[in-house]
């Protein structure tokens, strides 16, 4: 439903932040509220979770963190609060390496994660955390041309694999396109071949 909120931090509490977006305050449960400062501008990626008797907005510093959160939610026995706790206590590479290596001991260090849940995380996520999609709005490779950068981000947002889109960068710069639309048309032609 929501992808991200761009606004100003209105409040910081021990468990959540409030971001003011055009006069509307959204309460976001985040991994580290103290990473934000009241009055500072912020872009926070958002996941809206609806349960039988509860609704909550979870906030993340990057699209990669949001993706990892959603992947953790696919694991049996992991709910939103557990997934958020894992993200708060792990670096993405450490988590991905532990899953790839089958390191149950590393995973049981997270709050509320026992041996069985750690084994389930490894079983369900092996091979999925190795290559996060990255920030949907910022290609992994630096691109000098803003129009090209926007076109590449649009292709990723349309669902094309990020690695395939990144491979197009050199080819697209040689097409002579100068606008985002032109780059996007050329990119779609190349990806549909």
Using the structure block, give the residue that is written with the tokens 């669902």.
159
Query: How many CB atoms neighbour CB 192 within 10 A?
Result: 7
> What is the model's pLDDT at position 131?
46
Name residues whose C-beta falls within 8 Å of residue 47's C-beta, 6 or more positions apart in sequence: 2, 57, 58, 60, 66, 69, 70, 80
Decide which of 32 and 146 is more confident: 32
The model's pLDDT over 161-172, given as tens digits with 9 standing for 90+, comes to 777 888 888 888
pLDDT at residue 137 above 70?
A: no
Please name each of the domains of the chain with its CATH number.
Answer: 4-60 (2.40.50.140), 63-125 (1.10.150.20), 146-191 (1.10.8)
pTM across the whole model: 0.64
| Averaged pLDDT score across all residues of the chain | 84
Alpha-carbon gap, residue 45 to 135, rounded angstroms: 10
pLDDT at residue 142 above 70?
A: no
> What is the model's pLDDT at position 116?
92
- On whether the CB atoms of residues 141 and 174 are closer than 8 A, the answer is no
Alpha-carbon gap, residue 54 to 39, rounded angstroms: 29
Name residues whose C-beta falls within 8 Å of residue 159's C-beta, 6 or more positions apart in sequence: none
Give the residue among 25, 16, 26, 20 at the shortest CA–CA distance from 39. 20
Decide which of 35 and 139 is more confident: 35
The model's pLDDT over 10-19, given as tens digits with 9 standing for 90+, comes to 999 998 999 9
The model's pLDDT over 144-188, given as tens digits with 9 standing for 90+, comes to 467 788 788 878 777 777 778 888 888 888 887 888 888 888 888
């Amino acid at each position: 439903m929501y992808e991200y909120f761009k606004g100003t931090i209105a409040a910081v509490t021990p468990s959540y932040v409030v971001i003011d977006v055009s006069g509307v305050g959204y309460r976001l449960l985040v991994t580290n509220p103290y990473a934000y400062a009241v009055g500072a501008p912020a872009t926070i990626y958002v996941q809206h979770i609806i349960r039988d008797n509860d609704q909550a907005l979870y906030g993340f510093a990057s699209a990669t963190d949001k993706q990892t959160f959603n992947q953790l939610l696919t694991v049996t026995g992991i709910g939103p609060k557990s997934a958020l706790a894992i993200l708060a206590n792990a670096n993405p590479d450490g988590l991905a390496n532990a899953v790839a290596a089958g390191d149950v001991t590393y995973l049981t260090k997270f709050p509320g994660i026992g041996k069985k849940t750690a084994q389930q995380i490894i079983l369900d996520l092996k091979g999925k955390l190795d290559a996060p999609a990255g920030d949907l709005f910022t290609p992994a490779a630096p691109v000098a041309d803003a129009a090209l950068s926007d076109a590449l981000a649009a292709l990723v947002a349309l669902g094309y694999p990020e690695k395939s889109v990144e491979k197009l960068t050199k080819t697209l710069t040689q097409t002579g396109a100068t606008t985002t639309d032109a780059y996007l048309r050329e990119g779609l032609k190349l990806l549909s071949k």
